[in-house]
A and B are shown apart, each in its own frame.
Chain A
Amino acid sequence: MIASLSGVEVDYRGRLALGPFDLAVGEGEIIALVGPSGCGKSTAMRLLAGLEQPTRGRLARAPGRGETSLVFQAPTLAPWMSAVANVALPLELAGVDRRAARARASEALDRVGLSGVDAARPAQLSGGMAMRVSLARALVTRPRLLLLDEPFAALDEITRRTLADDVLALWAELRPAILFVTHNVEEAVYMASRVVVMTAGPGKLAGEAAVAGPLPRPEGFRVTEGFRRTSETVSALLAQGMERAA
């Protein structure tokens, strides 16, 4: 177990925003967190990152400093730094010397398929490329837990499918546990081995669906019967969760 929430509740300004909610993330597994807007998905993510504490309930985290990474919906790069400096930032903040940090950052950029853009500033990159830089920054520390908060939501369909495959390929190489939040049922089923569905806010568990099949996904996985059926199950859970709240 790398991180878990048990019976966790979070209040914002005296109102319940999340929970009670349970979630356990196992070493090296990929979990998709799906739920309606405002159900507390991002809050759950910040809890697991250790950036927030639950109001009630228990949060357990195994990773130490530098072993958790976070990717947001926007690339969230510093515009005044080059791509390679952005990627090197987590290492430099942890005290790795500049030369070594930049070398590892450059490698991480290669690994996400970006070569020759080391010196480019974020403003010179396309949306997809900037997202890859963000991903490289998340991977450069070789995290045990990778948290992705709607990472592809702002990208076009082709780019997001390519990036989904790339994330799975990187996962196969480095085997971090991945928890990612999405609104997109098909993306959830495609990328995760387990889809966790939340109810409308304050979010509780609406249900879970295991996704069969190998990871990374083989060609044509989206048109298999298993993919279709799991997607329907998840959609049904999502609909139930919204009804229960309404």
Chain B
Amino acid sequence: MRRLVDLLAPIVFLGLLLGGWELACRALDIPPYRLPPPSAIGDALAAEGPLLLRSGWVTLATALWALAIASLLANLLALAAALSGLVERAIQPVVVTLQVTPVIAIAPLVQIWAGLEHPERAVVGLAVVVAFFPIFSGALTGLKSADPDLERLFDLYGASRLQKLLRLRAPTAAPFVMQGHKVAAGLAVIGAVVGEFSAGSGGSQGLAWRIIEASNRLQTAKAFAALVVLAVMGAALYGLLQLAERRALAWWRGR
């Protein structure tokens, strides 16, 4: 019973919100280009569904590519930094600077570097920049978090550096790395959308472009529909990684 209530509560809340919205739009006679009622957004979703899903796939694919590239770069650099204090000190300032610089501010530069004829490369590049940091910092923290007493035991047993890395530091880092990827996945979607916005001009066919296009034409309902697809996509990606993380951690802890 209790679980049913917990399950229903957010649905009821969403229903009330949408109902209130719908009623307010009708009662106050708000023009739909200013704020479309949920029913109009539903109609737009139904009418533009295939187009929005195609655009959603473009954005999702961009985010996933970015995640994969960021994962590769971040893990390799974290490994290098964990193995050598010199490397860590050398790259840390650059990494931090990149992290604190708003991605939207470097978007035009990345656009130029990628070449104006390849806006999709710039979009992936920007998403990589934002997805990089959580993975890098998670992996580096994890690689440096080995239990010092376990490390002493490895020394006592005469373990080589490679044995210590493979059998102690990498397994210790695993949960940190997973957490980093989960955060990075959400950021990769944000990075992809920011990249598409800054690429503008229809060079990219992602969801952000659909939103810009619809807004420019005052097709506000369609813009909202694109937003719905984007939100559902982001939540699904996060949920999927959350599930994967939980499974992996359960295996890791052996419960």
Contact = CB atoms under 8 A, between A and B. Distances in A.
Interface of A: 46, 49-51, 65-66, 68-70, 72, 74, 76, 78-82, 89-90, 93-94, 120-124
Given A66-B158, A89-B157, A76 B147 contact: yes
Given A74-B149, A78-B171, A93-B159, 13 more contacts: A46-B152, A65-B158, A70-B152, A76-B147, A76-B149, A78-B168, A80-B252, A89-B153, A93-B154, A93-B158, A93-B167, A120-B254, A121-B253
A121 B254 contact: yes
Nearest to A120: B254
Contacts of A82: 254
A123 B253 contact: yes
Given A82-B254, A121-B253, A124-B254, A76 B158 contact: no
Contacts of A81: 171
30 contacts: A49-B152, A49-B156, A50-B156, A51-B155, A65-B158, A66-B157, A70-B153, A70-B156, A74-B149, A76-B147, A76-B149, A76-B150, A76-B153, A78-B168, A79-B253, A80-B174, A80-B253, A80-B254, A82-B254, A89-B153, A89-B157, A90-B153, A93-B157, A93-B159, A94-B157, A94-B158, A121-B255, A122-B254, A124-B254, A124-B255
A123 B253 CA distance: 7
B177 to A, nearest CB: 13
Given A51-B156, A66-B158, A93-B154, A80 B149 contact: no
A46 B167 CA distance: 23
Judged by DSSP, the binding face of B is: helix
Nearest to B171: A80
Interface string B130-169: 0000000000000000010110111111110001000110
Interface residues of B, number: 20
Interface of B: 147, 149-150, 152-159, 163, 167-168, 171, 174, 252-255
The residue in A49, A65, A79, A81 that gathers the most chain B C-beta atoms within 10 A of its C-beta is A79
A90 B163 CA distance: 11
Nearest to A143: B156
B149 A72 contact: yes
Nearest to A50: B156
A78 B147 CA distance: 9
Nearest to A90: B157
Q: Which of A50, A66, A90, A122 has the most CB of B within 10 A?
A: A90
Contacts of A124: 254-255
Contacts of A72: 149
A184 to B, nearest CB: 21
A79 B149 contact: no
Contacts of B168: 78
Contacts of A90: 153, 157
Closest 5 A/B residue pairs (Cβ): A121-B254, A93-B157, A76-B149, A90-B157, A80-B171
A102 B167 CA distance: 16
Contacts of B167: 89, 93
A50 B171 CA distance: 26
A134 to B, nearest CB: 10
B153 to A, nearest CB: 6
Given A72-B149, A93-B167, A123 B158 contact: no
Contacts of B252: 79-80
A69 B152 CA distance: 11
Nearest to B158: A65
A22 to B, nearest CB: 23
A82 to B, nearest CB: 7
